Amino acid sequence: DIQMTQSPPVLSASVGDRVTLSCKASQNINKNLDWYQQKHGEAPKLLIYYTNNLQTGIPSRFSGSGSGTDYTLTISSLQPEDVATYYCYQYNSGPYTFGAGTKLELK
């Protein structure tokens, strides 16, 4: 199975900060990676698909990048409503797997 390692597990940042979340795959996943945001008590929500494609309706402060085994989700200017847990998900090869998440908090 492909292991997805997200770092850091918890990130504290201030409103307006540029925030970078990391996701590392145990093998090349050929950009077959999505990012999901989950707020407390809600279902996950698609933010970015195929590494760098912004889902319809998602604010442009969210962006994704990466290739091979290393991927990044960036929030250009953190807003209070961005407090959530963020998950990466690979669908390059089965079984498809999620990372353990990065919990984003306000400082």
Partner 1 sequence: QVQLQQSGAELAKPGSSVKISCKASGYTFTSYYISWIKQTTGQGLEYIGYINTGSGGTNYNEKFKGKATLTVDKSSSTAFMQLSSLTPDDSAVYYCARRWPYGSYRFDYWGQGVMVTVSS
Residue 96's alpha-carbon distances to 17, 18, 32, 80, in angstroms, are 32, 29, 10, 31
> CB 24 → partner 1: shortest distance, Å?
16
Q: How many chain residues interact with partner 1 (CB under 8 A)?
A: 22
d(CA 59, CA 31): 21
Selected binder of partner 1 within 17, 22, 46, 54 (CB under 8 A): 46
- 74-101 in b/e form (b: 16+ CB < 10 A) is ebeebeeebebbbbbbbeeeeeebebeb
Q: For residue 87, give the amino acid letter.
A: Y
Selected binder of partner 1 within 13, 17, 24, 32 (CB under 8 A): 32
40 contributes a contact to partner 1 by CB under 8 A: no
Site for partner 1 in 68-87 (CB under 8 A): 87
Question: Which residue's structure tokens are 């760098």?
Answer: 52
> CB 89 → partner 1: shortest distance, Å?
8
User: Residues interacting with partner 1, by CB under 8 A?
Assistant: 32, 34, 36, 43-46, 49-50, 53, 55, 87, 89, 91, 94-101
